[in-house]
Amino acid sequence: MDLRISSSTAPLTGAGMARRAAAPQNDGNDVGFSSALKGALKSVSAAQNRSAELQTEVQMENPSVSLEETMVAIQKAQIGFQATLHVRNRMVQAYTDIMNMQV
């Protein structure tokens, strides 16, 4: 399964960080793969936390939180988690393939 999310409709705020900058930055911020991965994981975690908060508010019958907003947040968190899971599986497969290469 191939997941492709354009940056204009990406539910994750860290999804746009995966692209490398044209010129290296010397302000101390990493622009590499590890920082992009950390940013994506943080945004998935934030989406899951927001989803849990909204679920709690709906269960407590808070009138300012709508069920529709909660369901959208749950779906965003689920999609983000599934994408993270696919990335992890592909990274493990790539690591296994590299380790099985003969030198």
Q: What is the pLDDT of residues 22-50, one digit of tens each?
A: 444 555 565 788 899 999 999 999 999 99
Q: Is the predicted pLDDT of residue 2 greater than 90, yes or no? A: no
Distances, alpha carbon 8 to alpha carbons 4, 31, 73, in Å: 12, 20, 18
As a dihedral over the C-alpha atoms of residue 19, residue 25, residue 27, residue 28, rounded to 10 degrees, the angle is 60
Q: Which has more pLDDT, 3 or 36?
A: 36
Q: Where are the alpha helices (DSSP H) in 1-103?
A: 33-59, 67-99
Domain ranges of the chain: 15-99
Q: In the prediction, which pLDDT does 6 show? A: 47
